[in-house]
Chain A
């Protein structure tokens, strides 16, 4: 009973956390001016970090990116259509990650069924990386990965604040209303984003 109770609490907490994380993502984009992401990817990465822990999450992200980039260069000049090529890269990367899991089973012990979903999500981020790749440069993609990881880490840190968890569980409606108001305000805010103060500094200087 105790266990069941515990699981329900965590599930509730994770559900009620959703509006908080979304508000955070909207804030980083509209007010801070971080760019290049939607809601979906940082949201899923945030939950992935919360489920499997940020350290393991980041290690997994880095390893899969290094591997997939190596495969990308290997297949770069083969005449394959785009999607099959990316598919091949993800298959090989997953396979290698699986092998690493067998070699270092310690890391896999703590991964639950929901954790596997998080691992698969992180692996599938590889596709984003290469789809972006046809549009943007390598470094822009690195910036993208760092940005969404940063947001996911902040989400994880928020989740780990005891007081916030208590507030979310005790007053979920209040938190919801707060988030809706915050998103509405952000959606109507026409001021410069923080990053734009840096971006346009020469223009302001010249005035």
Chain B
């Protein structure tokens, strides 16, 4: 390990000087630090955010707050809190008793406790520099069932760092026993790196140290596929664009019913995400700088193409097999044609086949033999012709059967015989 190995890493000084300082104007940072204002801004732009039930700005309002006005389940947050401080999660109303609720740790909480907590928030206990603050009640996000084994009594969220409308790095943040159900890393939450291409988790950290399992369990943290990955990336880009911050950390939670929701936007996102991904931000940011990204789609594609695919590469290295999608492009090299064709991979077929007319026009007519092919329509005889082609960089010398495929979407089908050495991933897009 030399000093040069540190070239790809973004440090605090550089983040503040070159990114926060240059791309995040103070007035937009102020808005981002104001959760109520941010939610309003994003909500009006059609970005999904947790519903705000009630805002309390003054002590007088608090005094007249009535238990009957509160929902069964809610979250209380300080408007200008940071790092998950002062967040109170209330699970449900206690049955049969008025003015008593149950917290996420199953302890009881009364109206007096709630008012005291809000009073502390108003006094600025949880805000930076202890300035006066407002408190608000919001909808409690409902846990997606597949997260149950990963999250300890809380809601995991996904931090996506977006720069110049391109998501550059992401991290799944899991609440733990130590973090008391909160997903914040410095409270002891777990940060899990994510492959940007497909939303599969890679490495994990707790307190900046790499870990493999959730503490005290045998639950492996790597290899978990985060649902709605593309939608998460799209939401992150939309939120960054609306926030007017050039460099932002967007926190997104997945609600069981409503899908991805933006919890908050950070103007100064933390750097530990680099450890969870075992990859430097500096390098990635440099590659994005100056790009004109016009649409959200383009941003998503850039993120997936530039900063993803590591998992796939690893699988290919282990298995020695190449991973291909169902629909792909092949290049016919027979007769020095170098002709690109769209093809569908079909593991239900043994021989590859090509449309007869197309084969004729390409001069693929070196007849080999006739074979019997079974299909859902019964058995038929087909001619085999020699074909050399390239699939995902690998040359293959084989024979294709000739079929009438003129009215089908794909003029070429690649069958099992030519798929030796490949793994077919139905989710991989061409």
| Cβ of B388 to closest chain A Cβ, rounded Å | 39
| Cβ of A174 to closest chain B Cβ, rounded Å | 27
User: Are A188 and B17 closer than 8 Å at their CB atoms?
Assistant: yes
User: Are B275 and A134 closer than 8 Å at their CB atoms?
Assistant: no
User: Are A79 and B116 closer than 8 Å at their CB atoms?
Assistant: yes
User: Are A135 and B18 closer than 8 Å at their CB atoms?
Assistant: no
Q: Which of B46-54, B122-130, B214-222 contacts A (4 or more CB under 8 A)?
A: B122-130
Interface string of A72-84 (1 = CB under 8 A from B): 0000000101110
Our count of residue pairs bridging A and B at CB distance below 8 angstroms stands at: 74
Q: Which of A56-64, A96-104, A143-151, A190-198 contacts B (4 or more CB under 8 A)?
A: A190-198
A121-148 with Cβ < 8 A to chain B: 131, 134-137
| Cβ of A25 to closest chain B Cβ, rounded Å | 16
| Cβ of B420 to closest chain A Cβ, rounded Å | 33
User: Are B18 and A190 closer than 8 Å at their CB atoms?
Assistant: yes
A193-207 with Cβ < 8 A to chain B: 193, 196-197, 199-207
Q: Taking the complex as formed, is B380 at the interface, i.e. its CB lies under 8 A from any CB of chain A?
A: no
Interface string of B48-79 (1 = CB under 8 A from A): 00000000000000000000000000000000
User: Are A204 and B6 closer than 8 Å at their CB atoms?
Assistant: yes
Q: Taking the complex as formed, is A189 at the interface, i.e. its CB lies under 8 A from any CB of chain B?
A: yes
User: Are B274 and A200 closer than 8 Å at their CB atoms?
Assistant: yes
Q: How large is the interface on B (under 10, 10 to 19, 20 to 34, 35 or more residues)?
A: 20 to 34
User: Are B275 and A197 closer than 8 Å at their CB atoms?
Assistant: no
User: Are B123 and A82 closer than 8 Å at their CB atoms?
Assistant: yes
User: Are B13 and A206 closer than 8 Å at their CB atoms?
Assistant: no
Given A81-B120, A134-B125, A207-B5, also A193-B11 (CB < 8 A): yes
Contacts of B8 in A (CB 8 A): 203, 207
Inter-chain pairs besides A192-B6, A204-B6, A205-B5, 13 sampled, C-beta below 8 Å:
A79-B116, A81-B123, A83-B123, A134-B125, A134-B126, A190-B14, A192-B14, A193-B12, A196-B11, A202-B278, A203-B8, A203-B9, A204-B5
The 3 closest A-B pairs by CB, nearest first: A204-B5, A192-B11, A190-B14
